[in-house]
Structure 1
Amino acid sequence: MSPRWRYSLIGLVALLLCGVAAAVFLHNYERGSEDITLPAYGEPTYNPLFALRETIRRDGGKAESRRQLDLPSMRLHPGDTVLMLDDPRLLTPTQVDDLLEWVQFGGHLLLRAPDTDEALDGDTNNLLQRLGVVTHDALARCQKWQVPGQESHQEFCTGHRFALDGSTRVERRWGDGNDDQTVAWARLRYGAGRVDVLGEMDFLLNGENDGDTGLRDLPHRDLARLVLAPNYGKGTVHLIYAMEMPSLWKTVIKRGWPIWLPLLLALLAWLWARSQRFGALLPSPREERRSLLEHVRASGELLHRYGKAPLLYDAVRQSFLARLRRRAPVAAALSGDAQAHAIAEHLQWPISRVQTALQVPPSRDDTALRERIRLLIQMRNQL
């Protein structure tokens, strides 16, 4: 079979296999779509009233979100609405007076009932005391909420309950039972304005993925419009979602751990590397117990003891010749008797004395060794 037909056959088989694989895939699978709710990011992660603000804006109203209550910058008007999530007992006396003065001329204030606290409830100038609202530790009971065309809902199943002392006129109330001693929601008249106190505000918050639908549920949106009804569409709705700022250290520890934890580990590693170690990890270096001169003398004695005296003489002779090459290069270039005569003439020494110094002494003749080394040192020093 020619290469052309062989390659054509291989290509045909590969195309057939691809067709079979595609047919099997299309037979076993079909295209479908699925809606997946992605987790929130950005402002909805820290602003629980983000969905309410966007809903009001889409309805054509004006809404602003704020972390703290700032009355001078808010510039409230009689047709505005203020909704606060945090404990209203944390307001300063000046803020309480300004809010009540604004409500008295047509403002609408929404508050969430807090839990009982003797330290905070004892303040006669707090906002709840001025409105005749008394905190109560009764257990919350679900309230039925029915919207035409929708399934029945249960609202105010959590949160706190409160009571009214009768000092403020009640326009609307939603009690817990027949006796109505505890209230889940009340709308109070204060001058020309209104104050709504709610046992909980979960239906006004952003919807979560764990079953808390928030404003995603139609009955919750209907109840939100009922709560915001007095000034809805008239002025600006100010949503205060975090009056009490969290502690800086608490925020750093809770949310900043991806940064401070590696830095802390790096700091501990650096401290460990720089700290003093107990116990030697490496052996201490041996200290030198002798001077250099002692080592040289000991080496010479060892060579002399083992009959290596010519090595000692040769070392001194090489030292002399090295200086001779620097000081009298002409004499150093010679050899034999000519070199001896040149050295003697240069040093003004007898020729016999120079020849004696340049002769290698016998191995066991200590006297001759010392004499020749002495002469070489003298000659070296005189160059």
Structure 2
Amino acid sequence: MSRARLAIGALLVVAVAVVAAVGVAVWRDGYTRVEESVDAPRSGEAASNPLYVLKLALQRDRVQVQARQRLALGLHPLKPRDTVLIFRDPRTLSADDAKALLAWAERGGHLIVRTPPLHEQLGESPVPVLTELGVTLLDRSDVADEEELRSGCVGVYERGLEAQSQFCGGRRFYFYNSDIEPAHAWGDEDSAYVYARFAHGQGHVDVASDLDFLSNDTGSDNPLLRGLRFSDDRIAKPANAALARQLLAPNYRAGTVHLIYAAEVPSLWKTLIERSWMAWLPLLLWLLGWLWLRMQRFGPLRPAPALERRSLLEHIVASGEHVYRYGYGPRLYEAARRAFLARLRRRDPYAAGLDGEPRVALLAERFKSAPALSADEIRDALTPPLAREHTAFRTRIATLIRMRNRL
């Protein structure tokens, strides 16, 4: 190998080494290693329990807490200083469970229930626990404007923070049928109440318009939806956390807090949107592309081409016009007259047996109801028209058809 080639190879190696050294220096100078925390999708109880964050907060505050989907009083007996929070619709409680809960509250327990959702019509059907307390629920038919009832929020104020709207979509209530006055109530007689605490024996029963301020977001497996944050942990707001602490105040740390919730089972469409978007999104794009290819040109719509007409009635009209045009009008009139007389013989044989003026008088008496036909019109209709009298021909044919249809 010549010295020139060796020199060129050495220069190339040096150039590559210099470029690599410069690249490494630029990389180290422009980039730094950092740690980033990414929220993983919630799973297990956190994905199905809307009171999971409240449960963790109570555990952090050294409060004994149990969270389950069913009340199951046989498996989980209640102690006198316990607290039971029914997060779901109270109508899911059986009559025996409702009586057992009220009897337990008389011995010192603290029961927290909500009113049924507002979008359902209750009517006169009783609601467990609430009916026994004498609580009267406000129904959709009790207000003139349902949207005004839905938007009737109340403000929760926290020092140094803006007021948080609460109980916006809950069903309000009255307690004028109750035997005792509540120890605490939130609302007024004009717009009804959103919260009330009743003393029940040695314990308490709290009734709230809704308990959504205690809930947390159960999460989504779709990273796009998690980034957009369509929902959030409502219990994490300071005003809602303070309200939750006041709600649990009577037996706080005195016993076990039982959180009874209904597992949030997502709908089929929500599951498809969140977990199957890798399949339906390409299919949707393919469908839109196919529709684009099959779409007609842009511009004004062209009128539809005239279709061939094969109406039987049009053929009959055309045949009649053709026959009349060639001087066979008397035959058309005679056919209409025979059709009238044939039906007259079936419906009124006596009138059909007459002739001349007696028949005309009898038919005029028969057709005197509105729209009435005079004797002159009937007489003209039964008399053949003169040749080429187009108006008389049309009038007689029309009168014969009218009389035939009215028989």
What TM-score results when the alignment is normalised by the length of structure 1?
0.57
Cα shift at 1:73? 1.3
CA shift in 2, pair 1:35/1:160, >3 Å = farther
Give unmatched runs, 5+ long, in structure 1: 259-383
**Partner Cα distance (2:267, 2:163) in 1:** 40
The answer to whether 1:170 aligns with 2:172 is: no
Q: Deviations over 1:350-380 (max 9, x none)?
A: xxxxxxxxxxxxxxxxxxxxxxxxxxxxxxx
The answer to whether 1:231 aligns with 2:251 is: yes
**Partner Cα distance (1:219, 1:5) in 2:** 78
Q: Deviations over 1:288-314 (max 9, x none)?
A: xxxxxxxxxxxxxxxxxxxxxxxxxxx
CA contact (8 A) 1:187 1:195 kept: yes
**Partner Cα distance (1:163, 1:140) in 2:** 18
CA shift in 2, pair 1:28/1:160, >3 Å = farther
The answer to whether 1:57 aligns with 2:69 is: no
**Partner Cα distance (1:119, 1:45) in 2:** 31
Cα shift at 1:159? 2.5
**Partner Cα distance (2:84, 2:117) in 1:** 21
Q: What corresponds to 1:205 in structure 2?
A: 215
**Partner Cα distance (1:118, 1:200) in 2:** 14
CA contact (8 A) 2:80 2:108 kept: yes
Cα shift at 1:26? 5.7
Q: What corresponds to 1:241 in structure 2?
A: 261
Cα shift at 1:54? 1.0
Amino acid at match of 2:251: N
**Partner Cα distance (1:60, 1:218) in 2:** 19
**Partner Cα distance (2:193, 2:116) in 1:** 13
CA RMSD of aligned residues (A): 3.4
**Partner Cα distance (1:46, 1:152) in 2:** 30
The 5-angstrom pairing of residues 61-80 of structure 1 reads 61-80=63-82
CA contact (8 A) 1:87 1:112 kept: yes
Q: What secondary structure sits across from 1:101 in the alignment?
A: helix
Amino acid at match of 2:171: H
The answer to whether 1:146 aligns with 2:166 is: no
Q: What secondary structure sits across from 1:122 in the alignment?
A: coil
**Partner Cα distance (1:145, 1:18) in 2:** 63
**Partner Cα distance (1:229, 1:62) in 2:** 14
Cα shift at 1:251? 8.0
Amino acid at match of 1:212: D
**Partner Cα distance (1:210, 1:230) in 2:** 35
Q: Deviations over 1:310-363 (max 9, x none)?
A: xxxxxxxxxxxxxxxxxxxxxxxxxxxxxxxxxxxxxxxxxxxxxxxxxxxxxx
What TM-score results when the alignment is normalised by the length of structure 2?
0.54
**Partner Cα distance (1:212, 1:162) in 2:** 28
Q: Deviations over 1:47-76 (max 9, x none)?
A: 111111111011001111111111111110
Q: What corresponds to 1:191 in structure 2?
A: 201
CA contact (8 A) 1:140 1:161 kept: no
CA contact (8 A) 1:169 1:190 kept: no
Amino acid at match of 1:99: L
Q: What corresponds to 2:222 in structure 1?
A: none
The answer to whether 1:216 aligns with 2:236 is: yes
CA contact (8 A) 1:89 1:126 kept: yes
CA contact (8 A) 2:90 2:127 kept: no
Q: What secondary structure sits across from 2:161 in the alignment?
A: coil
Cα shift at 1:35? 5.0
Stretch moving more, 28-37 or 125-134: 28-37
- 1:40 is aligned, of 42, 62, 70, to 42
**Partner Cα distance (1:36, 1:256) in 2:** 24
The 5-angstrom pairing of residues 216-295 of structure 1 reads 216-242=236-262
**Greater gyration radius:** 1
Amino acid at match of 1:190: H
The 5-angstrom pairing of residues 90-129 of structure 1 reads 90-115=92-117, 122-124=124-126, 126-129=128-131
Amino acid at match of 2:128: N
CA contact (8 A) 1:67 1:241 kept: yes
CA contact (8 A) 2:83 2:111 kept: yes
Give unmatched runs, 5+ long, in structure 2: 141-148, 220-228, 276-407
Cα shift at 1:204? 0.6
Q: What corresponds to 2:172 in structure 1?
A: 161
Amino acid at match of 2:116: P
